[in-house]
Structure 1
Amino acid sequence: MPDPVRGSDPAGPARGAPEAGRASGTIVSAGRVLTPARSFTPGWLHIIGEEIVEVAAGIPPRSADVALPDLTLVPGFVDAHVHGGGGASFMDGTAEAVRTVTEAHLVHGTTSMTASLVTDTPDRLASLVRMLADHVEEGALVGTHLEGPWLSPAHRGAHDPALLSDPTPERVEALIEAGRGTVRMATLAPELPSGPSAVRRLTQAGILAAVGHTDATYAEARAALDAGAIVGTHLFNAMRGVHHREPGPVIALLEDPDAYVELIADGIHLHPAVLAHAARAKPHMVVLVTDAMAAAAAPDGTYMLGPMEVRVEDRVARLTSTGAIAGSTLTLARAVRYAVQVAGLPLEDVVRAATQTPATMLGLGRVGQLRPGHRADVVALDAGLEVRHVIRAGRWVDRSAADPSWRPDRHTSSLP
């Protein structure tokens, strides 16, 4: 598969903002630069074209082209689990929907994302996977995530029960082939018939097998991990709960040193104490995700999540038919703020969970860190952790759609 992080910018050229990649490059200084492996206070980075060429502490060797003394620079956010945003969904199956979703999250700092699909018919899913493969190969997305149809009816969440199925070899192979190497992750309930063999086949194909929407016992979850599963899809949500005589999949995933665990930090899916406990249990394996549906960065109202109708009120998305939580209306920027300001987690750990760790999990070699040789994806946060500036692939992103007061010279003392 072509390297997805070297493709075109889904937002196109930024309007009214400085071009970070001119011939001599651009030096951006800030009150703090979080790599996130190291913290420089103050610090600076040098961008040439799409690439970061230097990152260091202190004062830059020449006057900064853009000075942000009151802001913190962090890597662009990497969302490994997102269904939609800006009023559109990847299930819409159009190039316009892909552009709408990626742009809606980009202005909030998400510079890399996978396209998550929900349960549908085999033919419909294969068609969507083929369509999204084009956008992965073009660089707008970093991969596709299949969340369904191989899920437990007992923990189906916002998935149509009539369309759930077992991960038979034929069904698994059909979606692998449709993806042309662009499917990054597949969530399944490993206790289903053919579940363990599906985990092995997905792993063999280079696809992350994720345990989720599952009624697996502790032993069944452990067997899936031993077979190659390596991710827990939105830990705690849509899975068998913890019991002192039957620990279930949550404990199996938390105790496995090689398993990544997704957490949705919106105050709806998880109590802040549960979020903090899981994050502290394995700080280098936690991945903040949004599980965002179409209403992310969009008004409340009625939306579709695949074939299921969803009503969003006060930013909470629920199926109109059952009242089940149906994804979130999060952006990763808001998840970062919640994890720090409400759950009380250290900023360094939270930034890593929204950048470096998901990039590592997804096998993305040039995003998720501010370091030489990486793509110039940068987010500037203020003291309240609100996003003020975004750079993707060396280009400043026009944030006026998200913040009407946005100006490229805001918080800057000089511009190129």
Structure 2
Amino acid sequence: MTENRALIGRHVFDGASWHEDAAVLFGNGKIIAIRPVGSLSPDIEKIEGGEIIAPGFIDLQVNGGGGVLLNEEPTVEGIATICAAHAKFGTTALLPTLITDTYEITERTVEAGIAAKDRHVPGFLGLHLEGPHLSLSRKGAHDPKLIRPMEERDLDLILSCGMALDALMVTIAPESVSADQVTRLAAAGITVSLGHTEASYETAQSYATAGIRTATHLFNAMSPLGHREPGMVGAALATGALYAGMIADGIHVHPAAMGIALRAKTGPGKIFLVTDAMSPLGTDMTSFTLNGREILRRDGRLTLIDGTLAGADIDMASSVRLVHQILGLPLEEALRMATVYPAEAVQVSGVKGSIAPGLDADFVVLDDDLRTQSTWIGGREVYRA
């Protein structure tokens, strides 16, 4: 049994509201309560947190970190390295993301994900399979030689993975996956996302009816918003049932477009933050390899030799700072975009994403500048600045 402890903060954000000069009580990996500091028993262990305590960040699109790219190292050790790298920036739960690859690599990644869950790798929430069932015309940095339609064995592999993991997200395009296949995946509790697609507004809406729940990296690698054809972007914003991930690095989406999207989004689905981070995160790497192709790291950008963006060079704490400081979002809304909304998107809000009794004791402690001071996963401190 783990003794109950209290993490003390000047400002505690629980996902809905603020608590001043408060303490988060936790034990056995779970949250017990939020209480005023003055009400704490003298016997309880008190830990000085810092200026701001918030729910731990949740990132649903993480290709790599700490020098590891999931495609290149689809192992438990690779997943653990990626999770540890992102914990330094406040992320307490993430979906390691496999970019379009062969069936064999996908199978190895699924096996590694199941093993990572069994070994309780800190920060591992599940997997995100981004491809290979996408549109060639909106491939982005995905290898066109590996993009292909979804076959029955692909569907079976994904369904088996969904049964074994707490969360599984799959990015697909209508060009390569039928509406019936989407319905089968959604019925199994898998979060199916539209992305890398030329889908029309009507097609995207029909797929939402079939079971699509989210849109992958809004604006990027999808049919744009037009005044006569609203496209995939229009469908993501106008369809209330859809959530949408957004890369907030100021490169993938102009800040003005981010603001427009946030004001335009129809609920209850929300826009949430993703990093789309690659292996250089947390390192001084200047290049790396994806599917045998060199990716360059220059001036905050990751690109193929031809200049095509290939993932992002940003962490979740930096993303929160950008939408708060550059877009002017209230801090609580910026924090929700990294906590509450992604938890809702993959249907784990009963376990993570807020500070409430019974939920996992996952916290990030931030200073006045919203920089990570410490990160807690399951009631254990895994990083301190």
The answer as to 2:35 corresponding to 1:56 is: yes
The answer as to 2:328 corresponding to 1:344 is: yes
Amino acid at match of 1:133: I
Q: How does 1:207-356 map to 2 (within 5 A)?
A: 207-282=190-265, 285-320=270-305, 322-356=306-340
**Alignment correspondent of 1:79:** 59
Identical aligned pairs, as a percentage? 34
- Any idea what SS the aligned residue of 2:193 has? strand
Question: Is the 1:118–1:147 contact (alpha carbons within 8 Å) kept by the matching residues of 2?
Answer: yes
Q: Aligned match of 2:19 in 29, 40, 49?
A: 40
Q: Give deviations 1:201-224, integer Å, cap 9, x for gaps.
A: 211222111110000011111111
**Alignment correspondent of 1:3:** none
- Unaligned residue ranges in structure 1 (runs of 5+): 1-20, 400-405, 407-416
Q: Give deviations 1:359-404, integer Å, cap 9, x for gaps.
A: 12222222111111111111111111111121111112233xxxxx
Larger mean CA deviation between 386-395 and 231-240 belongs to: 386-395
Q: Distance in 2 between matches of 1:49 and 1:345?
A: 35
More strand per residue = 2
- Unaligned residue ranges in structure 2 (runs of 5+): none
Larger mean CA deviation between 166-175 and 254-263 belongs to: 166-175
- Any idea what SS the aligned residue of 2:83 has? helix
Question: Is the 2:135–2:176 contact (alpha carbons within 8 Å) kept by the matching residues of 1?
Answer: no
Larger mean CA deviation between 122-131 and 277-286 belongs to: 277-286
Question: Is the 1:113–1:142 contact (alpha carbons within 8 Å) kept by the matching residues of 2?
Answer: yes
RMSD: 1.9
- Any idea what SS the aligned residue of 1:293 has? coil
Question: Is the 1:44–1:59 contact (alpha carbons within 8 Å) kept by the matching residues of 2?
Answer: no
- Any idea what SS the aligned residue of 1:71 has? strand
Question: Is the 1:317–1:326 contact (alpha carbons within 8 Å) kept by the matching residues of 2?
Answer: yes
Q: Distance in 1 between matches of 2:220 and 2:168?
A: 21
Q: CA deviation at 1:330?
A: 1.5
Question: Is the 2:133–2:177 contact (alpha carbons within 8 Å) kept by the matching residues of 1?
Answer: no
TM-score (norm 2): 0.92
- Any idea what SS the aligned residue of 2:312 has? coil
Question: Is the 1:36–1:369 contact (alpha carbons within 8 Å) kept by the matching residues of 2?
Answer: yes
Q: How does 1:9-408 map to 2 (within 5 A)?
A: 23=3, 25-57=4-36, 59-62=38-41, 65-68=46-49, 71-91=51-71, 92-140=73-121, 141-177=124-160, 180-182=163-165, 184-190=168-174, 192-282=175-265, 285-320=270-305, 322-364=306-348, 365-399=350-384, 406=385
Q: Distance in 2 between matches of 1:228 and 1:152?
A: 19
Amino acid at match of 1:371: A
Q: Distance in 2 between matches of 1:59 and 1:316?
A: 47
Question: Is the 2:288–2:296 contact (alpha carbons within 8 Å) kept by the matching residues of 1?
Answer: yes
Amino acid at match of 2:326: V
Change (3 A) 1:132 1:242: same
Change (3 A) 1:40 1:205: same
Change (3 A) 1:193 1:81: closer
Change (3 A) 1:181 1:49: closer
Q: Give deviations 1:12-52, integer Å, cap 9, x for gaps.
A: xxxxxxxxx952x2222211100011111232211223121
Question: Is the 1:126–1:178 contact (alpha carbons within 8 Å) kept by the matching residues of 2?
Answer: no
Q: Distance in 2 between matches of 1:94 and 1:123?
A: 13
Question: Is the 2:134–2:195 contact (alpha carbons within 8 Å) kept by the matching residues of 1?
Answer: yes
Question: Is the 2:215–2:236 contact (alpha carbons within 8 Å) kept by the matching residues of 1?
Answer: yes
Question: Is the 1:300–1:314 contact (alpha carbons within 8 Å) kept by the matching residues of 2?
Answer: no
Question: Is the 1:222–1:252 contact (alpha carbons within 8 Å) kept by the matching residues of 2?
Answer: yes
Amino acid at match of 2:288: Y
Q: Distance in 2 between matches of 1:340 and 1:135?
A: 34
Amino acid at match of 2:333: D
Q: Give deviations 1:277-311, integer Å, cap 9, x for gaps.
A: 22233476121111111011222411123443211
